[in-house]
Amino acid sequence: MRAFFSGVLLPFLACLIATIPAQAADVETTCYTECEAQTSSNPEYKACLSQKASAADAFLNEAYGILKSAVRRHAAEMGQSPRYALQSLKEAQQKWIAYRDVNCRFEDQLAFGGTSIGGNHAACLCALSLERAVDFARVGRQLLSE
């Protein structure tokens, strides 16, 4: 277990935790107020939010891949097949993505056709994706505590 901790998950968690303050610890700043401060027009603001959403999605995808690798290694250490755990992770992630997408469409609709339409959607994608990456770090920590 110690080798698993130091060789795989510790670097992942250290990397993830190091980027969390900049990206996820303050989701509101990352996904909303930074773009407000950096732009001077609505189109620039929406473009900034779109870039934040893309970056958060990339961060989430990286965290997902690292967690899958950690599950594989943990299963091998335990002398088990990771098949069912990985299938459950995949199913959970697919359902989470469906939830995220519906929820963000709802938040975007709250603009009721106003100028924030589109921007609300991107900000929501950013926020929820960063929160999910933090959730993956929590799962990784739970694996280590066994």
Please answer whether residues 122 and 49 qualify as being in contact, where contact means their C-beta atoms are separated by less than 8 angstroms: yes
Token pair for residue 9?
A: 């998950």
More confident of the two residues 112 and 21? 112
Return the closest-CA partner of residue 27 out of 129, 97, 99, 107: 129
- The domain spanning residue 95 has which CATH number? 1.20.1270.180
Per-residue confidence band for 125, with pLDDT thresholds at 50, 70 and 90: very high
Mean pLDDT computed over 8-31: 56
Q: Which residues make Cβ contacts (< 8 Å) with residue 13, sequence separation at least 6?
A: 137, 140, 141, 144
Q: How confident is the model at residue 58, as a pLDDT?
A: 93
Please answer whether residues 121 and 104 qualify as being in contact, where contact means their C-beta atoms are separated by less than 8 angstroms: yes
Q: How confident is the model at residue 139, as a pLDDT?
A: 87
Per-residue pLDDT reduced to its tens digit, 35-57: 888 888 888 888 999 999 999 99
Mean pLDDT computed over 83-87: 95
Mean pLDDT is lowest, of 86-95, 122-131, 133-142, for 133-142
Could you list the residue range(s) of the whole structural domain that residue 62 is in? 2-144
Mean pLDDT computed over 86-91: 96
Q: How confident is the model at residue 146, as a pLDDT?
A: 47
pTM passes above 0.75: yes
What total of structural domains would you count in the chain? 1
